[in-house]
Chain A
Amino acid sequence: MESFVQLLNNVLPSLLQGVGVTLQIAAVSLLLGMAIGLPVGVGRVYGPRWLQRALAAYITLFQGTPLLIQLFLVYYGLPDLGLTLGRMEAAFLTLGLNSGAYQAEYLRGALQSVGEGQMTAARAIGMSKWLAVRSIILPQALRLVLPAWSNEAIAMLKYTAVVFLIAVPDLMGQAKILSSRYFAPIPIYMIVAVFYIVLVGATYLLLRQLERKLHIPGLTGETH
């Protein structure tokens, strides 16, 4: 037990640094994913046919291939095309593009579940299609998409772990370094697992709070 406390003391500073990096990657990637997913999702539903097809191709590409291959192609492949990214930038871009595809699909589902009648009623009072999307459809769809988006945020926290393979010192990267330094992989990976659970739990609670705050009777499901 004493040696475990000793080990914990030794590895804690590095792991906390790793937590910082993990949170940063997850947050930037989610936001980038949102910046991509929002217009892509709207374009998938309301865009012209050619745009819908192009966006579907992007989504298929990123949902249909392993994240790790995407990461390697961005980090090792893009330099061949003359675009060399740092490790962090490569992580942001890959996870952002990947999350954008998923967020777009979640948003598409939410947009389609807002009834046809909402658009008709908006058009009937003289709104243009895009004004109706902005002020009537999206405010409802964004509330409806929140539970799926919470899942995406939680999944993202764990997906970030792949970036240690391009030597980013995130929580997982630190764990790998420390486990070979202290020859104690099992306890260290257990500690790291606990770290992930705490991060995921905190994120879950935070987003539930947000869902509750944005709840509208009859529109979003009961939140307890």
Chain B
Amino acid sequence: MSTATAPILRIENIYKSFGETHVLTGISLTVQPQEVVVLVGPSGSGKSTLLRCINLLSPPDSGRIWLEEQEITAPGVNPDKVRQRIGMVFQDFNLFNHLTALGNVMIGLTKVRKMSKKEAHDLAMFELERVGLVDRAHHYPAQLSGGQKQRVAIARALGMDPHMMLFDEPTSALDPELTGEVLEVMQQLAREGMTMIVVSHEMGFARQVASRVVFMEGGVVVEEGTPTQMFEQPVHERTRVFLRKIADMDSGGR
């Protein structure tokens, strides 16, 4: 394998249990730079847990993960440093409630990246501009709509200059009419070449943006392929049934 096509992320045989619940049971996945991987699967299939293993919020019990050819599951690796390179966006936004939109983006810049107030302010405003929220810079989270909160959360992650981004059901907590503005920002990011792993059941987004769709069930990858392959002619019966169900929900108008 030449370095030109070296994967940005390589996951090898990851296991993760919580007590008696075996959530990930030997999962492997490789992501190339600039790829957009959409993870789908029934709830409880381990999608969110996989994301939290990747940025070591919840380190795997066994198995190995390489980020840009550095093994981040090796002993002695500082997880805080790893997380600076991996942006994460949550279903429930998790904006810092005591800070304005601007403050939410700035705090990682001043406290983690050790920028000066001035530098941090300018970069934070730039990131808010990217998600179209400069005019909401001085609003507190409670004064923003769900879609705006999620865009601030994306700006906050982008401010750390991540090498890849993880999205954990970024639109699931939003009213249907607010999902568009968030998906648009994500689509923009994909166009700019950001490597992304997205847990989402937005099939429209998967069709248009994903380089690859990965179907997970029972803690393992059942099947993966291009959106066309996966939606038109999945190999596994389980994949077909699941994607059909999701598609029906989408068109059925919730």
Contacts and interface: CB of A to CB of B under 8 A. Distances in A.
Interface residues of A, number: 22
A1 to B, nearest CB: 55
A118 B96 contact: yes
Interface string B71-111: 00000000011011001101010111110000000011001
**Main secondary structure on A side of the interface with B:** helix
Closest 10 CB pairs of A and B: A218-B142, A126-B84, A121-B94, A117-B94, A125-B108, A124-B88, A126-B83, A219-B97, A126-B112, A140-B98
Contact of A124 (B83, B97, B98, B107): B83
B168 to A, nearest CB: 10
Contact of B98 (A123, A125, A131, A219): A219
B98 A126 contact: no
A42 B57 CA distance: 21
A120 B98 contact: no
A197 interface: no
A146 to B, nearest CB: 13
Interface in A138-197: 139-140, 143
Interface of A: 115, 117-118, 120-128, 131, 135-136, 139-140, 143, 216-219
> Chain B interface residue count: which class?
20 to 34
A143 B87 CA distance: 29
Contacts of B88: 124
Interface of B: 55, 57, 80-81, 83-84, 87-88, 90, 92, 94-98, 107-108, 111-112, 140-143, 153, 156-157, 160
Contacts of A115: 94
27 contacts: A117-B90, A118-B94, A118-B96, A120-B90, A121-B153, A122-B96, A123-B80, A124-B55, A124-B83, A125-B156, A125-B157, A125-B160, A127-B108, A128-B80, A131-B111, A136-B98, A140-B96, A140-B97, A143-B98, A216-B97, A216-B98, A216-B140, A217-B143, A218-B97, A218-B141, A218-B143, A219-B140
Nearest to A124: B88
A126 B141 CA distance: 21
